Structure 1
Amino acid sequence: MGGALGRRTRGLIEKGYAVKTTVRNPEDMAKNSNFTALQAIGTLEILRTDLDEEGSFDDAVAGCDYAFLVAASVNLTSENPEKDQIEPSVRGTLNVMRSCVKAGTVRRVVLTSSASSVYVRPELQGDGHVLDEDSWSGVEPLTADKPGFWAYPVSKVLLEKEACRFAEEHGISLVTVCPVLTVGAAPATRIQSQTNVSVPASLSLLSVFGVLRSIEMETGCVPLVHVDDLCRAEVFVAEAAAAAGRYICCSLNSTIVEIAGFLAAKYPQYDVNTNISGELLEKPRVCLSSAKLVGEGFEFKYKTLDEIYHDNVEYGKALGLVPN
């Protein structure tokens, strides 16, 4: 979410908002250079916070109209996922929301979750499934079977539900955005300091397609959204008075076969392997629907593979993920 955070911050500043952003270490110039650069174009305060520290966000949200909660614990290799992934994710989310209650000024909290809280449903067999915001990943089968990275979708489901419960108890307007695989470049100043974890996945077909294969097998498609659209969507649901509940943020449901064909045609110099078959899908078996978001007035700018990938390969080159 590093790239999305920088773009969201810039977008808010350009709209005239005074913004506070939070980092673990404000003195780490390598990681925070994108934020310090944004201070030249508007009002931006950089504060130190820690999701594990109770009250750490009190100053960050004090006086704010909107709070965008985009950070959560991610530990995909832990030997104790309950302790290292699930519990910190829920605890950190509630820590921020408690600070919002203390502030007394926050009109809406926008929580960034993940579409992994929506689509991990092993019981869905066959084709033609369309998942909307009423769909939840199955916590019980995931916890029982413990497939690879099972704790991540479980943590997203539980933090969403705990955040919703807390918001109802304390009268907070909470909106949750569930983004799919997010494609697009981070601010240039972040290129050397941090790689958006979605970028290697979206570019994996230029080398191997193991990451995308896992996504397709788990999801029933490869759902995509451009980072600019994600940031615009989150600001949209913050400002829209009638916004409520969950919103899936997905502009295109694709497949590995379709993406491989597109990349091979657009970037023939990379010798993309299009001779792929086996368990791969010719067309999506499951589609994630953003009809709720679009129906309330949001419009995606990037709707095709060409539009979604337009800056991603150049960004991959800058990161050293794609050969020049």
Structure 2
Amino acid sequence: MQIATDKPVLVTGATGYVAGWLVKRLLEAGLTVHAAVRDPDRAGAVVALGEGTPGTVRLFKADLLDEGSYDAAMAGCGVVFHTASPFVTVIRDAQRDLVDPALKGTRNVLGSANRTASVERVVLTSSIAAVFGDQADLQDIPGGVLSEIYWNTTSNLTHQPYSYSKTLAEGAAWEMANAQDRWRLVVINPGLVVGPGVSGVGRSESFGMIRQLGNGKMKSGVPAYEIGMVDVRDVAEAHLRAGFLPDAEGRHMVFEAPYSFLDLAKVLKPAFPGYPIPERELPKALLWLVGPLLSRQITRKLVSRAFGYPWRGDNGKSRRELGLTYRPVGAATVEMFAQLVEAGLVGRRP
């Protein structure tokens, strides 16, 4: 793969979990990276990624909800990697916390792309959540196997609002891309992302999920939840290839294989003896009964439609057209948990 280094590239949300590995990979390829962040004074870790690489980092202040704030960062760039988007599990106002930043932010960034003549390609970080809403939805798909042709039609502001926000944002991106003919949109739809942070433990909710497997909160058992999962470094590589492979186009489901939370726990248990890592799945009926009492995000509709179902998807397009080969998720989870241990965020059983 030839990577042209004559123009800088823009990475939005450059302090993010996936973005960090992407920035590192771009710098190693010798590119000048325009790193758009909300607070440049707190982005020292991004600048540090450039040390010892042939690339260069330039910081720019920008905000998803501030129209036009990406214009300066995008000036002269050939490829735009739009990775910035909220991923939170504690939601107080779904419209404010999820939908507005995702949808308005995407329109804001792509509006800048429309105004920037140098931009030839935009790579959007979407999600597998834009492909389907609930695991139960797979029962209505011929063969029960997801692919890029499907769209989430069942999520809304009150049920799976994160998935709803990703669906709206990607839909808006395709609408804007199809309304012009200068730049090409390529979309990455990763599954649940795991693996180490490029600079240690990050603020991604993925770390919070893995932390709960070892801090005792799930000692009695984990939900019977299965989904396609992927190493964060493979997601970054997918973005890089989507940005520079000449024929890259369309959507790409990016995941190694389906895993359950119990699968991850079984990998962590022997690697970290002495930690309260769960050994069983909780009965669905119990989750249906007590879930809403534990968290308002665990609704009975969510338990009914998302837990206890097998998950199947086809990652063939990402392998064929992006040339991806996937790292094992189990090993990535062990690396991630080790970072949490080193940071003192999970402790041994007394």
Give the TM-score band, short-chain normalised: 0.7 to 0.9
CA deviations 1:267-302 (Å, max 9, x no partner) are 332243324352399997122321110011423341
Alignment of 1:247 onto 2:257: no
Alignment of 1:187 onto 2:201: no
- Relative distance call for 1:267 and 1:83 in structure 2 (3 A) is closer
Counterparts of 1:252 and 1:230 in 2: how far apart (Å)?
Answer: 14
Counterparts of 2:179 and 2:29 in 1: how far apart (Å)?
Answer: 32
TM-score by length of 2: 0.79
Residue 46 of structure 2 aligns with which residue? 35
- Relative distance call for 1:304 and 1:85 in structure 2 (3 A) is closer
Give, in angstroms, the shift of residue 103 of structure 1: 1.3
Range moving further from structure 2, 153-162 or 39-48:
39-48
- Relative distance call for 1:174 and 1:213 in structure 2 (3 A) is farther
Which of 4, 8, 27 is residue 13 of structure 1 equivalent to?
Answer: 27
Residue 86 of structure 1 aligns with which residue? 99
Unaligned 5+ residue runs, structure 1? Answer: none
Give, in angstroms, the shift of residue 304 of structure 1: 4.8
Verify the 8 A CA contact 2:222 2:282 in the aligned structure 1: no
Give, in angstroms, the shift of residue 169 of structure 1: 0.6
Give, in angstroms, the shift of residue 109 of structure 1: 0.3
Counterparts of 1:250 and 1:203 in 2: how far apart (Å)?
Answer: 21
Which of 208, 215, 229 is residue 217 of structure 2 equivalent to?
Answer: 208
Instruction: Number of aligned residue pairs: give it.
Output: 307
CA deviations 1:10-46 (Å, max 9, x no partner) are 1101101111101111123xxx121121343331100
Report matched runs for 1:241-280 at 5 Å: 241-279=246-284
Verify the 8 A CA contact 1:126 1:285 in the aligned structure 2: no
Residue 285 of structure 1 aligns with which residue? 310
- Relative distance call for 1:126 and 1:208 in structure 2 (3 A) is farther
Identity %: 26
CA deviations 1:239-260 (Å, max 9, x no partner) are 1111111111111211233333
Residue 295 of structure 2 aligns with which residue? none
Verify the 8 A CA contact 1:258 1:282 in the aligned structure 2: no
Verify the 8 A CA contact 2:33 2:58 in the aligned structure 1: yes
Structure 2 counterpart SS, 1:223: strand
Which of 325, 333, 339 is residue 309 of structure 1 equivalent to?
Answer: 333
Counterparts of 2:307 and 2:81 in 1: how far apart (Å)?
Answer: 37
Counterparts of 1:300 and 1:203 in 2: how far apart (Å)?
Answer: 27
Aligned AA (1:56): S
Range moving further from structure 2, 124-133 or 52-61:
124-133
Report matched runs for 1:143-154 at 5 Å: 143=156, 146-147=158-159, 150-154=160-164
Aligned AA (1:2): G
Verify the 8 A CA contact 1:113 1:178 in the aligned structure 2: yes
Give, in angstroms, the shift of residue 131 of structure 1: 0.7
Residue 300 of structure 2 aligns with which residue? none
TM-score by length of 1: 0.85
Give, in angstroms, the shift of residue 202 of structure 1: 2.8
Stretches (4+) displaced over 6 A = 280-284
Give, in angstroms, the shift of residue 309 of structure 1: 2.3
Residue 6 of structure 2 aligns with which residue? none
Verify the 8 A CA contact 1:2 1:186 in the aligned structure 2: no
Aligned AA (1:136): W
Verify the 8 A CA contact 1:86 1:155 in the aligned structure 2: yes
Structure 1 counterpart SS, 2:111: helix
Structure 2 counterpart SS, 1:236: helix
Counterparts of 1:163 and 1:202 in 2: how far apart (Å)?
Answer: 31
